[in-house]
Chain A
Amino acid sequence: MAQTVFAPWEDPDRKPLIEFRNVTKRFGEFTAIDNLSLNIYEREFFALLGPSGCGKTTMMRMLAGFESVTEGHIWLGGQDIINVPPNKRPVNMMFQSYALFPHLSIWDNIAFGLRRESKDKAMIEERVEEMLRLTRLTKFAKRKPHQISGGQRQRVALARSLAKAPKLLLLDEPLGALDKKLREETQFELMDIQEKTGTTFVIVTHDQEEAMTVASRIAVMDEGRLVQVDTPDVIYEAPNSVYVADFIGDVNLIPGTARPRPAEPVTPVADPAPAPQPASVEDAAPAAEETAPEAPVQAQAPTDARQPAPNARGEWLYKKVFARFMGQRDLNTPQLPPPSPEELAAARKAEAKAAAAKPAPAAAPEPAIKPGGILIDWAEGQPPIIAANGDPALDGKPVTLSIRPEKVTIDLEKPDRPNVLPGKVIDIAYLGNISTYHVELATGQMVKAQMVNARRISNRHITWEDEVWIGFTETAGVILEE
């Protein structure tokens, strides 16, 4: 594979091939794309990922020229293309339904675009043969589209859209109609062809596995906005929101309230594991917009959980009646604006210094878990979860710990891990290579834990109704606001 990492998006001097500048698209009252800006670079395999109705197909159709742009501009290779009709754009599209012309042979389908350019016959022939070879369709050239199988049709559609050597190829759910095995093969074929031809590919899909497999970068979309644009590994390991974490792959989401970790180890675990690697995923919750305190009761309960807080009725009574003559009560614990990265770093350093400066208490002998981070109070009467990669500035805010099942271990004996929680196995999904255990914690919270089935099935020792311990490290999860 490539020796140098392909990451043009990190190079500020690189000019993007495609630039969405504050693009808005409305269909009547409905806003499909909401003031969206995005850069896509040459030779990228870019995936637009999201549930149906998130606007990903509209984005693609605006690139192809089938939808007009309500506001904003789209630049392609230094040209504003919003007023260029589809037949004049250096863009080709592979349609979800393939849209092969049923009255033309495979050969004529592939030659269709070339003939419109009024190139000479020999050149067209050469190019079509080349495309047939690339997609391994040479022996089907004479057939009509209904005389070949679904997988072959998919390749014809690809060959036809690549024949004109477009600057940009759009793929609209190209593999949706294929069965799983064929789809996986075709994904690698697509990547191979993309590399061979050096074309920029933009793919629309709702299949996150497909996006992860083929794409150099993924844009996760929701309701006409970009939620996160990043490489597949960052999207998976460091989602920036509950939405992304939940949409991509399997995930355990544990909501709770953050409080900064005291410097002295208060870990409820008897003997914590040796300090693991510091997390590479530091800024899990970047300077996003202020989260509205949806759960005010939780939000204002600061460090001490025992401090009385009004219940819902009291809150209502206060707001409706007492507030009028008693004046505004200071509901919010004073909060700083979301810290900048520099501030964050400084805060961490200070914290670390404070931790170091404090005389180590009795529990000091064993190397404590990396200081800093937060504790998450996630349930009454349960030990808080340690999240060393959390941001102490989240103090008092409702947060969600997102942790992938494969980072959660499951044991019959209480393991030696920073976070251990007892539970009971409710369900086991045996998938052959891995097993997913659904464990119910004492609070009723379900947690999924995944184990690789390295041993044969006869050796598996955990079964239904077993009392088990689930465990995970203090940096395995990602702290998400929202």
Chain B
Amino acid sequence: MRRFSWFNVTSLTLGFAFLYLPMILLVVYSFNESRLVTVWAGFSTKWYGELFRNKEFLDAAWVTLKVAIFSSTIATVLGTMAAYVLVRAGRFAGRTLFSGMIYAPLVMPEVITGLSLLLLFIGIGLDRGVLTIVLAHTTFSMCYVSVVVSSRLTSFDRSLEEAALDLGCSPFEAFRLVTLPIIAPAVISGWLLAFTLSLDDLVIASFTTGPSATTLPIKIFSAVRLGVSPEINALSTLLIGIVTAGVITASIVTKRAAVAQARDEQAAERSE
């Protein structure tokens, strides 16, 4: 069988075109000379310059970053704790209910989550701003973290913790000195997931934000309503670039670690 039959090539092209054509268009038009987004008038990087002079965008980016860092950190702590308890506590009455309730926000429509949070904040008289967005983002990204961490914990060799207890650790020391370092990769990827979820969230942020805090997605969305400017294209291109670099770096690091581990293990077997 030929690997590159016309059928294979066509489906591959169609698939990738479907996925990436819009983004390519966006990237290409970010280098457009013209103010009109859809008319090509020559190559230029002036919109990038404009972007960095635009204080509103920069403020929004800063707010977004703050929110993402705080909410993902809190979500990671809470989500890891929840995952640990659910995996480790064994069978207790209502365990299935509890784990179901942890995962439910994953499938809950964002509009409902946003609305309910808004009602809560109004109810308790909390002024909407950065704090409320952080709380809201923590709420929904926490369950993503706990899914990632608990899947790592289920494959975690329980006897490692028992060995730590056996050697004189208190349960908390065992967690801090043995469990946490070993599940660290899962905790970090949980944090990254929470971070990116918070970065690009529009719906929940727009429900829970106030006039004092505008995140980047909200800013872009409202700017687009007034007409798409090449500045937004430039901003989006930067975001795509950052995400791509992050993903590639992460996969290279993981691959290298795996290769090194396999090599060490082979060497160890031979040395016996």
| Chain A interface residues toward B at CB < 8 A | 64-66, 85-87, 91-93, 95-97, 99, 101-103, 112-113, 116-117, 143-144, 146-152, 160-161, 164
| Chain B stretch 215-272: residues in CB contact (< 8 A) with chain A | 261, 264-265, 267-269, 271-272
Nearest CB on B from A238, distance (A): 37
Flag if B269 contacts A92 (CB, 8 Å): no
Nearest CB on A from B257, distance (A): 11
Which segment, of B36-44, B58-66, B158-166, faces chain A?
B158-166
Residues from chain B with Cβ under 8 Å of A91 in the complex: 166
In the complex, which of the residues B165, B181, B261, B265 has the most CB atoms of chain A within 10 Å of its own CB atom? B165
Nearest CB on B from A118, distance (A): 10
Q: Is B168 located at the chain interface by the 8 A CB criterion?
A: yes
Taking A87-B170, A116-B173, A160-B167 as contacts, is the C-beta distance between A152 and B272 under 8 angstroms? Answer: yes
User: With A97-B157, A149-B271 given, can you name 17 additional A-B contacts, CB distance below 8 Å?
Assistant: A64-B166, A65-B165, A85-B165, A86-B166, A96-B159, A99-B163, A103-B182, A112-B177, A113-B168, A116-B168, A116-B173, A143-B268, A146-B268, A147-B268, A149-B269, A152-B268, A161-B167
Residues from chain B with Cβ under 8 Å of A113 in the complex: 167-168
Q: Show 5 A/B contacts (Cβ-Cβ < 8 Å), sorted by A.
A: A85-B165, A86-B162, A92-B167, A93-B163, A146-B261
Q: Which 8 A-B pairs have the closest CB atoms?
A: A113-B167, A149-B272, A116-B168, A99-B163, A99-B159, A147-B264, A86-B165, A103-B181
Residues from chain A with Cβ under 8 Å of B165 in the complex: 65-66, 85-87
Taking A87-B169, A116-B173, A117-B168 as contacts, is the C-beta distance between A66 and B267 under 8 angstroms? Answer: no
Taking A95-B159, A152-B272 as contacts, is the C-beta distance between A147 and B267 under 8 angstroms? Answer: yes
Q: Is B197 located at the chain interface by the 8 A CB criterion?
A: no
| Chain B stretch 129-173: residues in CB contact (< 8 A) with chain A | 157, 159-160, 162-170, 173
Residues from chain A with Cβ under 8 Å of B178 in the complex: 101
Residues from chain B with Cβ under 8 Å of A117 in the complex: 168
Flag if B268 contacts A148 (CB, 8 Å): yes
Residues from chain A with Cβ under 8 Å of B164 in the complex: 101, 112
Using CB atoms, name the residue of chain A closest to B159: A99
Question: Interface size on B (CB < 8 Å)?
Answer: 25
Flag if B167 contacts A116 (CB, 8 Å): yes
Flag if A95 contacts B170 (CB, 8 Å): no
Residues from chain B with Cβ under 8 Å of A116 in the complex: 167-169, 173
**Bound Cα distance A86, B161 (Å):** 11
**Bound Cα distance A339, B167 (Å):** 50
Flag if B166 contacts A93 (CB, 8 Å): yes
Residues from chain B with Cβ under 8 Å of A150 in the complex: 269, 272
Flag if A97 contacts B159 (CB, 8 Å): yes
| Chain B stretch 167-200: residues in CB contact (< 8 A) with chain A | 167-170, 173, 177-178, 181-182
**Bound Cα distance A95, B265 (Å):** 21
**Bound Cα distance A92, B167 (Å):** 7
Residues from chain A with Cβ under 8 Å of B181 in the complex: 103
From A147, A148, A164, give the contact of B167 (CB < 8 A).
Answer: A164
From A86, A101, A103, A149, give the contact of B268 (CB < 8 A).
Answer: A149
From A99, A103, A147, A148, give the contact of B157 (CB < 8 A).
Answer: A99
Residues from chain A with Cβ under 8 Å of B160 in the complex: 99, 101
Flag if B166 contacts A92 (CB, 8 Å): yes
Taking A93-B163, A93-B166, A95-B163 as contacts, is the C-beta distance between A146 and B272 under 8 angstroms? Answer: no
Residues from chain B with Cβ under 8 Å of A86 in the complex: 162, 165-166
Nearest CB on B from A45, distance (A): 20
Flag if A147 contacts B265 (CB, 8 Å): yes
Nearest CB on A from B5, distance (A): 43
Residues from chain B with Cβ under 8 Å of A66 in the complex: 162, 165
Flag if B162 contacts A95 (CB, 8 Å): yes
Flag if A146 contacts B168 (CB, 8 Å): no
Nearest CB on A from B228, distance (A): 49
Taking A95-B162, A97-B159, A101-B160 as contacts, is the C-beta distance between A146 and B264 under 8 angstroms? Answer: yes
Flag if A87 contacts B182 (CB, 8 Å): no
**Bound Cα distance A264, B164 (Å):** 69
**Bound Cα distance A96, B158 (Å):** 12
**Bound Cα distance A151, B157 (Å):** 20
Q: Mark B77-96 against chain A: 1 for CB-CB distance below 8 A, else 0.
A: 00000000000000000000
**Bound Cα distance A121, B164 (Å):** 20
**Bound Cα distance A151, B181 (Å):** 25
**Bound Cα distance A91, B272 (Å):** 31
**Bound Cα distance A171, B269 (Å):** 24
Using CB atoms, name the residue of chain B closest to A149: B272
Residues from chain B with Cβ under 8 Å of A92 in the complex: 166-167
Using CB atoms, name the residue of chain B closest to A88: B168
From A87, A102, A148, A151, give the contact of B168 (CB < 8 A).
Answer: A87
Nearest CB on A from B263, distance (A): 10
Residues from chain B with Cβ under 8 Å of A147 in the complex: 264-265, 267-268
**Bound Cα distance A149, B157 (Å):** 19
